[in-house]
Chains A and B, each alone.
Chain A
Amino acid sequence: MNDFKKQLDRIDIPKSLHKRSLKGIKRAKNEQQKHKRWMPKILTVTVTIAAGGFIALGVGKQDTRQQQSSSLLDESLSSPIVHWCIAIFLMIMTILVVIIAIRKGIDKKLSIAMGFIMTLLLGNSTVYLQNQLPKPITVPLVQDFFYSNENFDFTIHYITNKSDRRFVKYLQADNLTLQAKYYGNSENKGISYYPVDVTNDSSHQFMRAAYFVGNREEIQTLINSKEVFLVLDDGEKLPTLLQMDFDHPEKVQVDFLGTSGGNDEMAIFVMMQDVVLDAVNIPEVLKHSVSFTDIKVNEIAYTEKDFPIAVKKGQRVIITFQTSEAGMDVRAKVGVSGRDGMLPKWINREASFNIPKIREEIERHD
């Protein structure tokens, strides 16, 4: 074995050996520098295209003007999975580019930091885009008016993205156009914070109010119209669900000594005549969110199953209704009635700022 080593030791070492080694090292160094010049650019371009492509996918849809309200909501909230699939794909691409950059010799910490920041940006963009509405949506309104009034006013709420500075200019139904009026500062254009006077910082949208005043003929036109739109200042039309009605004089109210006390859900009466009450009156549109609890006559409670019930003059009557969260504004009358008239309870409730709830409501009525 030593002889083998000795023979190997006798091999002539050329003088150019070290030079050739240096040549090989230099070649590798030059390639390294080339990669270092290019890799940050490739990284930047890849991630910019990734982010830009994602944003383009998110905002590039063209909306048609006249659509069913429910289909608008379908567009706005139906594709979080798609958004996240694209985002995850782009994040994986970013990670792959970072790994390649590190293998090519780019500073490890810098590459990882850039990759991490870009991944966070992609995730943030996804969350932001996923929560953007492609089009503002209007909150359904159920409203009853006293027929005896001369003028009738009502408010329609609509929801826009926080970045959307458009406002409602007028309401349109058949041949009717009602200009929107605004509370307070006209520059505010009806932007209101919801819940009232509280800024919802975590929300991606604002709820806004458009206020209208109409006469009896105009309201009757609205009642009869099949399609009603809120029209924005740029001309875009938002389909609107309105359920309006007049509280007609033929629906005579039972004579009572007004209400003393009561709250959002109950009304208290002292009867001025004997009546028989045999029905609960809740408009069809409210039946899923308003329910009759009971009627107490001198503290004895009766449910709808006990109807008809006789109530005597002088007796104290309390009617109680229960309301649940719903995606619509309600200013309507419910009550308990008999042949002689109705004991009314006005429900005044604003929709919760919950887009899925509002969507549910619109789909229900579509």
Chain B
Amino acid sequence: MQEILVQRAKEGDAEAFAQLFSQFEIDLYKMAYVYVGNEADALDVVQEVAYRSFKYIHSLQSVTYVKTWLMRIVINCASDLLKKRGQNRPFEAELEIGEESLEELPEKWALEDVMAKLTKEEKDVILLRFYHDYTLSQVAQVLQLKLGTTKTILYRALKKLKQALEQEVQE
């Protein structure tokens, strides 16, 4: 079914593309929301994603990668919006990777901490890994990063979330 919709969308059928896009728009909205933090901007991002994805539908190599492709567009659109609004947090210097394994890091995070404390790169990894259940390799592929870098970013994000949680507990 998706294959037919993609084929028709590539031929310029807007309705077919709308039908295809509607299968993902909620997830895309939620991702956008995590990045931008409010409903209005998230809707802008989704609209922009719909525009860009239909405009460049011919660049989609295979129907298997529709979701991945859309997620990449969301990440880019959200990043562009944040840059426009001057809200893009700069890339942080790498923290020392401690001896704690990933399994020891907290399982409960506040969504607000994810939205407020993490950089865009860290949100990318967290969302793809824990919301979309991608493996680390898949995350690295989507974000076009080395696996090692992806692990580092993930580790850093989780550490921050842990610190944020500990702070809340102390309060």
A-side interface residues toward B, CB under 8 Å? 1-5, 7-9, 11-14, 16-18, 20-29, 31-32, 103, 105
CA–CA, A32 and B12, complex, Å = 8
Could you tell me the distance in whole angstroms from the C-beta of B49 to the nearest C-beta in chain A?
7
Instruction: Write 23 A-B pairs (CB below 8 A) sorted by A numbering.
Output: A1-B107, A1-B130, A2-B107, A4-B109, A13-B29, A14-B29, A17-B29, A18-B22, A20-B44, A20-B46, A20-B50, A21-B18, A21-B21, A21-B46, A21-B47, A24-B49, A24-B50, A24-B51, A25-B54, A28-B50, A28-B52, A28-B55, A105-B12
B112: nearest residue on chain A (CB-CB)?
A: A7
CA–CA, A3 and B54, complex, Å = 33
> Which A residues are in CB contact (< 8 Å) with B109?
3-4, 7
Query: Count of chain B residues with Cβ under 8 Å from any Cβ of A?
Result: 34
B22: nearest residue on chain A (CB-CB)?
A: A18
- Known contacts: A3-B109, A5-B130. The answer to whether A23 contacts B14 by CB under 8 A is no
> Which B residues are in CB contact (< 8 Å) with A5?
130-131
> Which A residues are in CB contact (< 8 Å) with B108?
3-4
B121 interfacial by beta-carbon distance below 8 Å: no
A14 contacts B39, C-beta separation under 8 Å = yes
A20 contacts B58, C-beta separation under 8 Å = no
A8 contacts B47, C-beta separation under 8 Å = no
Which of B29, B48, B50, B110 sits near A22, CB closer than 8 Å?
B50
Which of B17, B47, B48, B111 sits near A4, CB closer than 8 Å?
B111
> Which A residues are in CB contact (< 8 Å) with B26?
13, 17
CA–CA, A28 and B57, complex, Å = 10
CA–CA, A17 and B21, complex, Å = 11
> Which B residues are in CB contact (< 8 Å) with A21?
18, 21-22, 25, 46-47, 50
> Which B residues are in CB contact (< 8 Å) with A18?
22, 25
Task: Please name the 7 residue pairs, one residue from A and one from B, whose CB atoms are nearest each other, closest first.
Answer: A24-B50, A24-B51, A28-B54, A24-B47, A7-B111, A28-B55, A20-B47
B58 contacts A105, C-beta separation under 8 Å = yes
A25 contacts B14, C-beta separation under 8 Å = yes
CA–CA, A163 and B14, complex, Å = 54
B130 contacts A4, C-beta separation under 8 Å = yes
> Which A residues are in CB contact (< 8 Å) with B48?
24
A4 contacts B114, C-beta separation under 8 Å = yes
> Which A residues are in CB contact (< 8 Å) with B39?
12, 14
